[in-house]
């Protein structure tokens, strides 16, 4: 267990008193903390960090919630499953996850995660590349370069078209792909998915069309029904399953190999939806923030364009970008990480302590919620030098900043993101075509939606020009 690696870590059994020199995290929870945090989470974290350091108590979400950011405490927060933490999410969110998510059943977490992992690594990712290339290229080519581009909606449209075939196994670009299924159009599917996504954040646990949660739950049922029909249709076609084709096929092939194993229909249907939930808006947020950050930093853009020329040579954009080429684009990878560091779409990792623990002489009491906050971890000078400067170089040798538990855009430890490599792959392909085809510059600071994910506001626009005509 990871925390055996932590020095000065003590797990307190019921009734055990902490060592005499133990202290509590600074700051008293305040009644207005939830409002202050939601109104401006960046400022809330920065102000408290400046005053109290990287660990402080708050009353955010109506209980004692300890914000943490330094690597060692993040490590402790990330690795307590089944020992001293549980997932701390509202009951509505847990209900929307359902019992087949990786968060709900910590006892089954390891076996489920290792069964799902092959779909998001190595050969499988390589197999996804032709589709990602094609859909992203066609999507960007359809943008009107004489107009202002509404960045987030434009990116969102493409991401949906990439992720639905990869995760739900339904190729929306094929004519009649929805024929015989209980959802008849892409528009309907997209609207249901949005309602499903929003349902995770509805706080009133009343299954009624009048509540966000109720509508979300209803959408969930319809989407599960839809996935059931997709599976039935696949079976009816009787074709040999190509386990490498998409996430759904990988699971169906797993079921064929071991009919009583992890991959039961109910699990498969839920996983398709859950992975779409986990990925779509996160990747949209990341890609649109990347467009913004590149536009804000012309010197970074110049290096990225140079790297494209070095790696791609004379290759034109009608040829697929290969995984070898993507691997060679180290400055692009660093720029994506720097975007994740500065404008990470997902903000918090919440865990409730089921036992009291002492780390480095600080007591974290049973019942408190720990929030490992990127807004703190990513601006700590001991993790990142000159944190307020946008500088992709920091992730490259010799600086190599952003070690494990310091850079936490994809979480860390037991529940580290399953789809991090897929997210990086899609974002890289997106960035390559953008750099090859378009010119854009950002002169004004944008405002961002902060919850549930951080992203550019939908009405934020930038002028784009074709590189050919620039």
Positions that interact with ligand HEM (CB under 6 A): 102-103, 113, 275, 278-279, 282-283, 286, 345-346, 349, 409-411, 415, 417-419, 422-423
Shortest Å, Cβ 157 to ligand HEM? 17
Shortest Å, Cβ 347 to ligand HEM? 8
Shortest Å, Cβ 67 to ligand HEM? 15
Closest residue (Cβ) to ligand HEM? 419
Establish whether 417 is an annotated binding residue: yes
**In the complex with ligand HEM, which residue's Cβ is closer, 308 or 374?**
374
**In the complex with ligand HEM, which residue's Cβ is closer, 312 or 417?**
417
Query: What's the token pair of residue 324?
Result: 């070898």
Contact (Cβ atoms closer than 8 angstroms) between residue 229 and residue 181: yes
Shortest Å, Cβ 272 to ligand HEM? 10
**In the complex with ligand HEM, which residue's Cβ is closer, 114 or 141?**
114
Using alpha carbons only, what angle is made at residue 70 by residues 68 and 75, rounded to the nearest 5 degrees?
85
Shortest Å, Cβ 467 to ligand HEM? 26
Shortest Å, Cβ 306 to ligand HEM? 25
Q: Which residues 6+ apart lie within 8 Å of 265 measured at CB?
A: 228, 231, 255
**In the complex with ligand HEM, which residue's Cβ is closer, 54 or 345?**
345
Shortest Å, Cβ 444 to ligand HEM? 25
Shortest Å, Cβ 418 to ligand HEM? 4
**In the complex with ligand HEM, which residue's Cβ is closer, 113 or 467?**
113
Query: What's the token pair of residue 348?
Result: 């918090």
Please give the full DSSP string across 98-114, using - where no structure is assigned. Answer: -TTSTTT-TTTHHHHHH
**In the complex with ligand HEM, which residue's Cβ is closer, 132 or 219?**
132
3-state DSSP call for residue 118? helix
**In the complex with ligand HEM, which residue's Cβ is closer, 217 or 247?**
247
Q: Is the peptide bond before 146 cis (omega within 30 degrees of 0)?
A: no
Question: Distance (Å, rounded) from C-alpha 131 to C-alpha 125?
Answer: 11
Q: If we measure between CA atoms, which residue out of 359, 361, 371 comes closest to residue 48? A: 371
Question: Distance (Å, rounded) from C-alpha 347 to C-alpha 102?
Answer: 19
Question: Distance (Å, rounded) from C-alpha 85 to C-alpha 77?
Answer: 8
Across 14-68, where does the E strand assignment appear?
A: 55-58, 65-68
Which helix H or strand E contains 333, and what residues bound it?
Answer: helix 330-342
Query: What's the token pair of residue 48?
Result: 């408290």
Q: Is the peptide bond before 88 cis (omega within 30 degrees of 0)?
A: no
* Strand 369-373, strand 65-68: pairing: parallel
Place of tokens 């839809």: 226
Query: What's the token pair of residue 307?
Result: 């790297």
**In the complex with ligand HEM, which residue's Cβ is closer, 283 or 312?**
283
Q: Bin 380: left if φ > 0, else alpha if -120 < ψ < 50, else beta.
A: beta
**In the complex with ligand HEM, which residue's Cβ is closer, 329 or 423?**
423
Shortest Å, Cβ 415 to ligand HEM? 4
Q: Bin 61: left if φ > 0, else alpha if -120 < ψ < 50, else beta.
A: left
Question: Distance (Å, rounded) from C-alpha 465 to C-alpha 173?
Answer: 26
The annotated binding site is made up of: 417
The annotated binding site for heme is made up of: 417
């Amino acid at each position: 267990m990871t925390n055996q690696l932590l020095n000065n870590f003590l797990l307190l059994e019921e009734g055990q008193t902490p060592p005499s020199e133990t202290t509590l995290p600074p700051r008293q929870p305040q009644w207005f903390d939830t409002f202050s945090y939601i109104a401006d989470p960046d400022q809330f974290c920065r102000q408290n960090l400046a005053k109290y350091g990287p660990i402080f108590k708050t009353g955010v979400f109506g209980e004692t919630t300890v914000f943490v950011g330094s690597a060692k405490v993040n490590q402790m927060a990330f690795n307590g499953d089944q020992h001293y933490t549980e997932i701390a999410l509202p009951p509505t969110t847990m209900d929307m996850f359902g019992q087949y998510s990786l968060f709900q059943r910590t006892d089954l977490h390891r076996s489920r995660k290792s069964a799902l992992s092959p779909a998001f690594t190595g050969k499988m990712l390589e197999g996804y590349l032709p589709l990602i290339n094609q859909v992203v290229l066609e999507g960007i080519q359809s943008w009107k370069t004489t107009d202002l581009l509404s960045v987030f909606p434009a990116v969102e449209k493409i991401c949906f078209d990439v992720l639905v075939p990869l995760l739900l196994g339904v190729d929306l670009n094929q004519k009649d792909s929805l024929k015989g299924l209980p959802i008849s159009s892409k528009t309907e599917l997209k609207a249901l998915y949005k309602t499903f996504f929003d349902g995770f954040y509805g706080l009133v646990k009343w299954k009624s069309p009048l509540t966000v949660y109720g509508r979300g739950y209803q959408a969930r049922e319809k989407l599960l029904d839809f996935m059931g029909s997709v599976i039935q249709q696949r079976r009816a076609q009787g074709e040999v399953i190509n386990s490498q084709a998409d996430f759904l096929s990988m699971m169906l092939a797993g079921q064929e190999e071991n009919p009583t194993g992890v991959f039961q229909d109910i699990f498969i249907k839920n996983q398709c939806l859950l992975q779409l939930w986990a990925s779509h808006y996160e990747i949209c947020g990341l890609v649109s923030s990347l467009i913004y950050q590149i536009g804000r930093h012309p010197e970074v853009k110049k290096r990225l364009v140079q790297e494209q020329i070095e790696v791609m040579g004379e290759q034109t954009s009608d040829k697929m970008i290969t995984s070898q080429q993507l691997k060679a684009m180290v400055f692009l990878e660093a720029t994506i990480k720097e975007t994740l560091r500065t404008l990470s779409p997902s903000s918090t990792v919440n865990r409730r302590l089921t036992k009291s623990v002492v780390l480095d002489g600080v007591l974290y009491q049973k019942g408190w919620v720990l929030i490992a906050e990127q807004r703190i971890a990513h601006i700590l000078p001991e993790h990142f030098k000159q944190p307020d400067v946008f500088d992709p170089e920091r992730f490259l040798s010799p600086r190599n900043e952003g070690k494990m538990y310091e850079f936490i855009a994809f979480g860390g430890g037991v529940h580290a993101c399953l789809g991090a490599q897929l997210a990086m792959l899609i974002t890289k392909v997106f960035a390559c075509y953008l750099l090859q085809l378009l010119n854009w510059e950002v002169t004004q600071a944008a405002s961002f939606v902060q919850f549930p994910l951080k992203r550019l506001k939908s009405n934020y626009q930038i002028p784009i020009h074709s590189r050919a005509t620039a």
